Amino acid sequence: MKAKIIVLAGQSNAVGVAHVRYLPKHFSAERLARFENGYDDILINYYSHDKKSGGFVKTAYGCTEISKDTVGPEVGIADSLSLRYPDEKLFIVKCAFGGTDIARDWASPSRTEVYDSLSFGDGDSENEHYRKAGWCYNELVKLMGESIYILKKKGYAPEIRAFCWMQGESDAMDKQKVTTYTERYKMLLSDFESVFDEYMSGCVFIDAAISEQWTYYKELNTQKLEYAANTPDSFFIDTIAHGLVTTNEPEGEVDFAHYDSDCIIKLGELFAEKIQL
């Protein structure tokens, strides 16, 4: 029996900082009930900013941060795929950390000049390898390995069918980081594939544009677009063209860095559109 896995990785808009309390403005009671109750056949194992699921649980609200009643794009992914594939049991592996960049935090082994194989997010802050370059990549590989182990123990044959990437905001504040973004992204994907090669057949890579709130967003999004256009099995989601915004919520104190609640669900739906099972 196959276990089809969808990877979701990146920084805070992959974590999901959209407030649950605003969702009733945008969605029907029927959809809200699905979001809240979760999806029995779409399970998620996550390390999301400062919170871990500790194994696979139902995809629903709250796979985000410990102290916030928020929602992430995984709910949009789950809702969309549950309707398209009602008889499929799917697994999401989400590894996302707010404020991180690909230049340092997501550095992978091919970045030999900076990568630290012993760097992780957990542990004593006095430890010399605490959150040095590569810690996000290392946590992703660790979480994927744990997820595959869990699924195999349950008798599944794991397949990674999609790698969804929502990241780049931090890098887009620095022109030098933008110029090297594609090179670093390619190395990250190549290194990830080398570790999980036996599970990657049929995998697609889906990269989402960042919003207009970042200094060099145009330049960075152009790199994302061009990479996807020239790379097999790769897709670019133009979040700006699809109307995703960060300009309305929370009311009275807008968080311009993060997508509004309806838009974070839409982001997940846009990822799901590119996933064929």
Q: With a cut of 80, say whether residue 127 has pLDDT above it.
A: no
Model pLDDT, residue 93: 98
Residue range 171-206, pLDDT digits in tens: 999 999 999 999 999 999 999 999 999 999 999 999
Q: Which of the four pLDDT bands, split at 50, 70 and 90, describes residue 131?
A: confident
Neighbours of 263 (CB within 10 A): 26
Report how far Cα 34 is from the mean position of its chain's Cα atoms.
21
Which one-letter amino acid corresponds to residue 34? R
Q: With a cut of 80, say whether residue 126 has pLDDT above it.
A: no
Q: Which of the four pLDDT bands, split at 50, 70 and 90, describes residue 128?
A: low
Q: How far apart are CA 67 and CA 188, in angstroms?
A: 30
| Rounded mean pLDDT, 161-167 | 98
| Rounded mean pLDDT, 202-221 | 98
2-273 maps to CATH 3.40.50.1110: yes
Its pTM surpasses 0.85:
yes
Model pLDDT, residue 119: 93
Nearest to 46 by CA among 32, 60, 34: 60
The pLDDT > 70 percentage for the chain reads 97
**Structure tokens given for 126:** 């006095």
Angle between helical axes of 73-84 and 261-273 (0-180°, round to 10): 50
Model pLDDT, residue 122: 74
Model pLDDT, residue 123: 64
Neighbours of 231 (CB within 10 A): 15
In three-state secondary structure terms, 6 is strand
Q: How far apart are CA 113 and CA 213, in angstroms?
A: 31
Nearest to 94 by CA among 112, 69, 76: 76
The pLDDT > 90 percentage for the chain reads 94
Q: With a cut of 90, say whether residue 148 has pLDDT above it.
A: yes
Contact of 8 with 49, CB cutoff 8 Å: no
Strand partners, 18: 71
Residue range 78-101, pLDDT digits in tens: 999 999 999 999 999 999 999 999
* Residues in Cβ contact with 1 at an 8 Å cutoff, skipping those fewer than 6 apart: 155, 156, 157
Give 213-270 as a DSSP string: TSTTHHHHHHHHHHHHHTSTTEEEE-TTTTT--SSS-STTS--TTS--HHHHHHHHHH
